[in-house]
Amino acid sequence: MKTTIKFFLLVHRYLGFALSLLFVVWFLSGFAMMYVRYPTMRQHEKLQNLAPVDLQLCKLNLNEALVIAGVKDTMRTVRLGMMLGRPVYRLTTTRGDYKAVFADNGELFSGTDSVLADKLASTFGKPCRVRKTAVLTQIDQWMAGARSQGYTTPVYQMQMDDDEDTYMYVSVQTGEVVQRVNARQRFLAWLGPIPHWIYLTVLLRNRSLWNDIIIWISSLGVIMCIAGIVMGLVRYKRKDKSSLAFSPYKKRWFRWHHYTGFIFGIVVFTWVFSGLLSMTPWDWAPMTRLDIEETAQWTGGPMKAALFSLSPSKVIQRLNNEISVKEIHLIQLNGKPYYLAYEDDDHTRLMPADVDSGTPFEKFDYRPFIKMVQALNPGIGIKESKVLSEYDDYYYSKYNEKRLPVLRVKMSTLQETWYYVDLKTGQVVLKHEKLSRLERWLYHGLHSLDFKWLVYRRPLWDFVVGVLMIGGLSVSVTGLVLTWKWIKRKANLKPAPKKRLKL
């Protein structure tokens, strides 16, 4: 028994020496993370800063654009928008290849140069002059979202001559502003997301290394916490029944580390454990989106360009009576073509792309999607189908950014698969199975305390999370002080001088 206790003691002590500073940083940055996100320009912000499309000069249909671009691969996304007053098709294949074709004269876009980048940045949103331009061949500190947003280097970094000290990033490949971040956002990111996620530029450029570092550090942190909790219980000694004191330690910092760890140790453990699960280590939980085969079945196979027979110029005439269109996505659902028009993420309209008599509508009828979900699971019964007009425990957003309504279909599969279909876009925006639902609670639930009964009740959520964060920080600070005292003690232990031999 004594050997086991000593083992836990040594594990907790030496892992604590190695990780105590990082845990202090994690909890301090966690306070900022309650209110600050990593500065990534999402589609909603991007659309709000674009000028409305003008497709009167659009002469090409999708089929003609694909021929000019020489695209023979399956399409992942097709967008129709503007580039400095000219309509342009932006084509992305499933292999990640990108092509752009101007829809007014069929010219193939050859890439962005410095002059074009200057014009694109200076006219994005509020007009502003470019102060300085640089070409980046590797991602920098503010391009962590490049992969998820679908762009890559090289990019032009444009420093704008405005009061907010804004950086604009223009993709050489796509001819679009893909990122925008101002001085305030950069400062807050250094207080929250960057130290919290260890988002250093050198690691952002090597994602596999960053992934391994986070997993190993978090795993060691979990072991350290378990050993600490065990030692906290073993060292519990309440000699005086009239006193609440239970720590046998006489030295102040040892005693306070014992007290704070005994009370908040489980909080520290759950946060580092849920942080580990955020990396989905060893792929223990399934993806929460359709796989390749399901996606192909949902769309009705590869996109059939010939089906988009209704000309974009006619489409925009009808859509402009509904919303101020900034961009049009060409989508295919169950083999049928549609134009999906965006003003921003909150304002969208749909139109059939194969009939001249079609009219715009805001959302799909939910009933065909029930049959489509059933087709993804042949021979399996439907447990429940329901249209949600408010978030549930799995489809939700702390910032109310996800669209409603959605159709939720629960299938009677062995994994009890759930599908969430966005009725405004026709896309399956979330797919959950048993393990992914468990991950939702073990990761998001324990890490962000985003329980439905709490997260939307502000400032109650702020108070609860703040108190727990202070507790976790106190455990970490007392551990850091003990580490510092140990280092000082070891540094002061000078080796005894060697005695000289008398001859």
Angle, helices 367-376/292-299, rounded to nearest 10 degrees: 140
How distant, in Å, are the alpha carbons of 110, 117, 156, 241, 462 from that of 113?
9, 6, 9, 78, 47
Asked if 93 and 124 count as a contact pair (C-beta separation under 8 A), the reply is no
pLDDT at 457: 93
Q: In this model, does residue 63 exceed pLDDT 50?
A: yes
Angle, helices 460-492/252-277, rounded to nearest 10 degrees: 120
Asked if 330 and 339 count as a contact pair (C-beta separation under 8 A), the reply is yes
pLDDT at 84: 93
Q: Measure the CA–CA gap between 365 and 402, rounded to whole angstroms.
A: 19
pLDDT at 500: 62
> Which amino acid appears at position 63 of this protein?
N
Q: Measure the CA–CA gap between 154 and 1, rounded to whole angstroms.
A: 60
Q: What angle do CA 495, 497, 502 make, to 5 degrees?
A: 155
Q: For residue 166, give the nearest of 149, 179, 178, 156 by alpha carbon.
A: 179
Residue 248 vs residue 190, higher pLDDT: 190
Whole-prediction pTM: 0.91
Q: Measure the CA–CA gap between 426 and 196, rounded to whole angstroms.
A: 36
Mean pLDDT of 441-451: 95
Q: Which residue has the tokens 């976790």?
A: 472
Q: Give the model confidence (pLDDT) of 11-55 as tens digits.
A: 999 999 999 999 999 999 999 999 999 999 999 999 999 999 999
Mean pLDDT of 354-382: 94
Q: Give the model confidence (pLDDT) of 277-323 as tens digits.
A: 999 998 889 999 999 999 999 999 999 999 999 999 999 989 988 99
pLDDT at 299: 95
% of residues, the chain, pLDDT over 70: 98
Helices (H), 236-354: 252-277, 292-299, 312-319
Q: Could you tell me if residue 249 is left (phi over 0), alpha (psi between -120 and 50 degrees) or otherwise beta?
A: beta
How distant, in Å, are the alpha carbons of 180, 202, 337, 423, 431 from that of 199?
18, 8, 41, 36, 28
Q: Measure the CA–CA gap between 268 and 222, rounded to whole angstroms.
A: 9
pLDDT at 501: 54
Q: Determine the 3-state secondary structure of 407 from DSSP.
A: strand
Q: Give the model confidence (pLDDT) of 218-259 as tens digits.
A: 999 999 999 999 999 998 887 777 677 888 888 999 999 999
Contacts of 452 (CB under 8 A, 6+ apart): 391, 392, 393, 396
Other beta carbons within 10 Å of 378: 6
pLDDT at 217: 96
Mean pLDDT of 106-118: 94
Identify the H or E element spanning 204. Answer: helix 201-204
Q: In this model, does residue 72 exceed pLDDT 90?
A: no
Q: In this model, does residue 496 exceed pLDDT 80?
A: no
Mean pLDDT of 153-173: 95
